[in-house]
Structure 1
Amino acid sequence: MMDFILPAWQVIAIAAVGTVVVAVAGGVMTDTTGWYRTLRFPAWKPPDWAFGPIWTTILALVALSAAIAWEGASSSLERTIVSGLFVLNGLLNILWNYLFFFIRRPDLAMVEVAFLWLSILALVVATYPINRAASLMLVPYLVWVGIASALNRSIVRMNGPFAGA
């Protein structure tokens, strides 16, 4: 297998563009007006204004983690595995927004969020031997998606059943 090396600035640019794509794709599918406003929420739900800054911080940490892990990987195989995990995670992140907001199926999103959380855990584990800081940068993401999954579950319990369920 040929080793694929990129200059550090390109690695950072690719990681940044990747996270922006995930953020924009998720944002395009997220509508917190109309249908969303009709849902009942638990009292502990964070205020809507908090989600933007939290996700911005998390995605910045994800991009930085990806760049550091790529740079620290000792082989092409290790870079391929870590890159694949980051891509899978981004796709699962977008899918959650699609399920919850776009097709209005919090019940399906509740199932999918388990896979999203596991993909973050896989990233934490896979990046740890490469660079501990890159791994630890993903922990806030893991915690936040854990909170989001509990919120998702509460929304399903308080509002279900949903169409087709």
Structure 2
Amino acid sequence: MELSPTTRILITTVITVALGSLVGLATAAEIDGWYATLNKPSFNPPNWIFGPVWTVLYILMGIAAGGIWGAGVQGNTKGKALWTYAIQLALNLIWSVLFFNLHAPALALVDILLLLPAIGWCMYRFRRIRPWTAYLLLPYLLWVSFATVLNAAIVTLN
């Protein structure tokens, strides 16, 4: 049975949001614990903003991945694009564990510096298949760019 485009988008969105939520739950205790003790830059957003922002970003990411999964593309172009998506998602999830659970902002900075070009590469591959999917990842790229500056500032201040 062939899955409809909507079903594919729903599957990838649920998986992406679920993975992000699981990591969020695993790191939540550190927000009021270890993270609260860190020196942070003046431009650090309030803690409550991160959950809603990441939820929206994970939804957009899932929709984009589902759009690629449902694309009628010949050859392995679609597979390569989805592998690139999986790699950048893994780097994204690993960042939270490094930063919050392992209390390693410097290692998290290395991870996020790898994540940024991985997102760019994912957007490039997605754009070649379905341009609208790459545009859905633009807010994610911008937020991770901001998070990179924030991570670097936290490393510097601590």
TM-score by length of 1: 0.87
Corresponding residue number in structure 2 for 1:119: 118
Structure 1: which amino acid aligns with 2:56? T
Contact 1:29 1:101 in 2 (8 A): no
Kindly, what percent of the aligned residue pairs are identical?
A: 32
Corresponding residue number in structure 1 for 2:88: 89
Structure 1 stretch 134-143 or stretch 22-31: which is displaced more? 22-31
Corresponding residue number in structure 2 for 1:69: 68
C-alpha displacement of 1:76: 4.7
Q: Which runs of 5+ in 1 are unaligned?
A: 160-165
Measured against aligned partners, the alpha-carbon deviations of 1:2-39 in whole angstroms (never above 9, x if no partner) come to xxx64324412330232123212321332201111110
Structure 2: which amino acid aligns with 1:136? Y
Structure 2 distance, partners of 1:76, 1:25, is: 34
Corresponding residue number in structure 2 for 1:26: 23
Structure 2 matches for 1:1-165, cutoff 5 A? 6-30=3-27, 31-159=30-158
Structure 1 stretch 76-85 or stretch 40-49: which is displaced more? 76-85
Contact 1:124 1:135 in 2 (8 A): yes
Q: How many pairs does the alignment contain?
A: 155
Structure 2 distance, partners of 1:119, 1:73, is: 24
C-alpha displacement of 1:143: 0.6
Aligned-partner SS, 2:70: helix
Aligned-partner SS, 1:43: coil
Structure 2 distance, partners of 1:113, 1:26, is: 16
Runs of 4+ in 1 over 4 A off after TM superposition: none
Structure 1 distance, partners of 2:26, 2:102, is: 9
Q: Which runs of 5+ in 2 are unaligned?
A: none
Structure 1: which amino acid aligns with 2:21? V
TM-score by length of 2: 0.91
Higher helix share: 2
C-alpha displacement of 1:102: 0.5
Structure 2 distance, partners of 1:22, 1:54, is: 15
Measured against aligned partners, the alpha-carbon deviations of 1:82-131 in whole angstroms (never above 9, x if no partner) come to 11111111211111011000000001001110111111111110011211
Measured against aligned partners, the alpha-carbon deviations of 1:109-160 in whole angstroms (never above 9, x if no partner) come to 011101111111111100112111111110110010000010000000001x
